[in-house]
Each structure stands twice: as structure tokens, then as C-alpha cells.
Amino acid sequence: KKAEAWSARFSEPMSELVKRYTSSVFFDKRLALVDIEGSLAHAAMLAAQGIIAADDLAAIEQGMTQIRGEIERGEFEWQLDLEDVHLNIEARLTSLIGIAGKRLHTGRSRNDQVATDIRLWLRGEIDRIVGLLGELRTALLDLAEQHAATIMPGFTHLQVAQPVTFGHHLMAYVEMFGRDAERLADCRRRVNRLPLGAAALAGTTYPIDREAVAKRLGFDEVCRNSLDAVSDRDFAIEFTAAAALIMTHVSRFSEELVLWMSSRVGFIDIADRFCTGSSIMPQKKNPDVPELARGKAGRVNGHLVALLTLMKGQPLAYNKDNQEDKEPLFDTVDTVADTLRIFAEMVAGITVKADAMRDAALQGFSTATDLADYLVKRGLPFRDAHEAVAKAVRVCVERGCDLADLSVEEMRQALPEVVTYLGDDLRDSLTLDGSVQSRNHIGGTAPEQVRQAIARARG
């Protein structure tokens, strides 16, 4: 059996229990391909700087090509004894090419190596997630376009407030997911900096060329302080915070989908392929996907707190605590990416029940504000108008009808103190279509504005 990479320093082998406890290979092998990419860039720089020979570089490149093939074909034998992805690959390299393999780690530490790997990997995942956000936004835009003029009740406190268009409601989520993409793009700038060269913590005595490595790996800059480069994981925390916000938005949307699909509300239906049945109740069709997504938002919030807590007590520079950054980060990426993918497809499979939406908007006095605005436009101060309409609403509640059910004559009888403001055109302002159409400014719910917002979002 092979001894540990550092066994010369120790008088007894590592305990089996500790080996299992400290080993990370069964999760960090996910970094294998970026680890190879980073090693190749490092080796090329070492050769260009005359730190290793051109022959060594050629051997390393050939060995790494073989290893990459083994990993991609699932033939690579990961060994727990070799602790992590870095030592596994390096050991395999040396077994394949001999002495040149032992020269690869010159001027490098696993500390700057792993920090580089995570950044390379996360950069690719950020790009993938930004793409998925784009797909979800496109699905929402398509649905919003079909329903730019479909009227539903808008809510505050989950009580009917004012009529809005369903397209406008969906566009609120397009805004949220758009900001999420912006946040990721901003976070990416700080992810995309190169730690390699920091070595263990203090830098290295070799004449390295960090800029060349950064360029080859597509990093925008090099990390400017070696202690910071190997120890901070703020970039991963920042990403997870952005991911938690994505999931928060998904979760709010999920909550609405569940409500809308409930037979009590009945605003939408979700395609069968995204729903599940009950093992006991034959009639059931449950919105499991949004419910699960709502639950998974909690899981990502947990990862954010885990990473913040992991970091907060660490003195400079690297500490083994940081090995614990990977599972929360990996799971955050998986959870967000899977959720966004499913949601983009599910939104395309939503059936809208426009009649039910309209019926609901006709209840709950959703045009009361419009009536108040009507009175104000005819000269009544807003506070007086507010009071008059409140009185009209109370009359309707007593009669069990809606504002729009009152004739102009009945309205005049109900509100004698403002009768001079009640013209014959009164009822026009109480219609749902009139209500939404009149909110015709940037950010308003008018169908025309919704169409403009869609065009703008499509860019």
C-alpha cells in the first residue's frame, strides 16, 4: 500500500478513521477536469520560464491527456488513500510518466491549486446558470406576450387590490430573474481571478509568470495578495448568496403557482407531466414541482449560512476548514441549475384560465381606486374621494353586490354629498379594461406597456 505524500515526516501511518474523515476525493473529483487544465497551464509556464525542461512539459501534457481520457471514460481509479482529487491525479501522472510527474508541483501548493480549481469550475457553472436564467425568462416572456391583456386581480395582503394584466404579473418575475443574472455577471468578475502563484501562502521563490497563467486560463486578473488568494472563499459565498436570491424568486413564484392551481382559485393548470398524483386519493393532481422548489430554496439558504459560518472564524491563511466549501457549493449549483431548467419547461406548459381570472377581478371591489381617481379628476380632493368610495363599498357589501353593479342613479343616491361629481360617464372608470388601460406609463399594467416591456426585455 502506498504511503501518504508526506509520510517521510511521520513516524506512524495515518489512522484509517482519520483518512476517511479528511479525504475529499469522493466529492472533489468533480473538479478533475479543471484541475488538469490548471496543471497544464502551470506546467507550460514552468517550462516557458526555464523552471522545468521542455521534455518534462511534453511528458506532463501527454500524461494528462491520457488521464483526462481515463476520467472521461470512467476508468480512472480514485483512491481514498490519496485524499483528494489533486493528489490522485498527480500520483497517476507520476505512475504514467515517472520523474517529470514529480516536477509538476514545483512552485505550487494544493492551497493555490484548489482555489484555482474552484474558481475555474464555478466560472463555467455561472455561465451555465446565466444561460438557464435566460431560458426561463424567455418562457415567461412568451407567456406574458399571450396574456398582455388578460385581466386578473392584483393582490396586496392576499386581498384583491386592483386589476392587473397577467402579462404584467409575469413580467415582474422577468425583472427579478433579470437582476439575478446581473448579480451573477457581477459576481463572476470577482470569481475570475487567478490564485496560482500564491503557493502555500507566501508566494514562491521561482521566477514564475502569473500573468501568463492567468491569460492561458482565461482569468481577467491575478489575485493581488498571496495570503488572501489561498484563504478567502468570499467569491463562493457571494455566488451562493446570488443563488439564494434566485431560489427566493423561484420560491415566491412557486407559491403563486400552487395557489393559482388550487381549485379554490383555479387561475391556471400545469401540464400533467409536471404534476404527481396521490397514492390514496384518486382525484388528485398535485403541483409537486413548485412545492419542491419552494422547499429547495431553504436548502440553498442553508448552504449560504454554512459557507458564511465556515469562513468567519478562520485566521489567515489556508485552513483545512475550507475543504468544507465544496459540498455546499456543488449542491447549490446543482439545485439552482436543475430548478431553472425544469421551470423553463414548466412555464411553457401552463394553461391560463382567463375567465376565472376575470371573474375573480370582478369581485372584491378591485376598481374602487379607479372610482376615487374619477372623482379627483372632477375636482374632489383625494381624501374626500377616498371616504366617499369607502362608503359606496360599504353600501355594496350590505347589498351583496359589486361597485360596477350600481347604476349611476343608485350611486348618486348612495353618495349624496358628492353627487355633483358623479357624471354619466362614471361607470366607464369602473370596468376592468378601463382600469388597466388607464395605467399607461412605464412600469404600469396597461397592455400597451406590457408589450413594450416585453420588447425591451427581449432586447
List residues with catalytic annotation.
157, 278
Q: Which is nearer to ligand ARG, 4 or 61 (CB)?
A: 4
Q: Which is nearer to ligand ARG, 28 or 370 (CB)?
A: 28
CA pair distance 45, 213, nearest whole angstrom: 6
Q: Which of 255, 185, 172 is nearest to 454 (CA)?
A: 172
Q: Which is nearer to ligand ARG, 24 or 335 (CB)?
A: 24
CB of 55 to ligand ARG, least distance (A): 29
DSSP state of 318: -
Q: Which is nearer to ligand ARG, 324 or 410 (CB)?
A: 324
DSSP state of 80: G
Q: Which of 163, 153, 233, 141 is nearest to 193 (CA)?
A: 233
Q: Which is nearer to ligand ARG, 201 or 404 (CB)?
A: 201
For residues 68 and 127, the answer to whether their CB atoms sit within 8 Å is: no
CB of 315 to ligand ARG, least distance (A): 15
Q: Which three cell numbers stand for residue 363?
A: 369581485
DSSP for 328-339, written as a single string: HHHHHHHHHHHH
CA distances from 371 to 43, 392, 404 (A): 75, 10, 10
CB of 107 to ligand ARG, least distance (A): 16
Handedness of CA 238, 239, 241, 245 (dihedral sign): positive
CA pair distance 26, 228, nearest whole angstrom: 27
3-class secondary-structure state, position 76: coil
Q: Which helix (H) or strand (E) holds 370?
A: helix 368-377
Q: Which of 365, 359, 366, 357 is nearest to 436 (CA)?
A: 366
Q: Which is nearer to ligand ARG, 21 or 282 (CB)?
A: 21
Handedness of CA 195, 196, 198, 199 (dihedral sign): positive
CB of 2 to ligand ARG, least distance (A): 18
For residues 267 and 357, the answer to whether their CB atoms sit within 8 Å is: yes
Q: Which is nearer to ligand ARG, 203 or 364 (CB)?
A: 203
CB of 102 to ligand ARG, least distance (A): 18
Task: Specify the amino acid at residue 193.
Answer: R
CB of 91 to ligand ARG, least distance (A): 14
CB of 109 to ligand ARG, least distance (A): 7
CB of 202 to ligand ARG, least distance (A): 13
Q: Which is nearer to ligand ARG, 18 or 281 (CB)?
A: 18
Task: Specify the amino acid at residue 97.
Answer: I
Q: Which three cell numbers stand for residue 188?
A: 463572476
SS3 of 90-159: HHHHHHHHCHHHHHCCCCCCHHHHHHHHHHHHHHHHHHHHHHHHHHHHHHHHHHHHHCCCCEEEEEECCE
In the complex, the residues that contact ligand ARG under the rule CB under 6 A are 24, 28, 84, 110-111, 114, 318, 320, 322-323
3-class secondary-structure state, position 351: strand
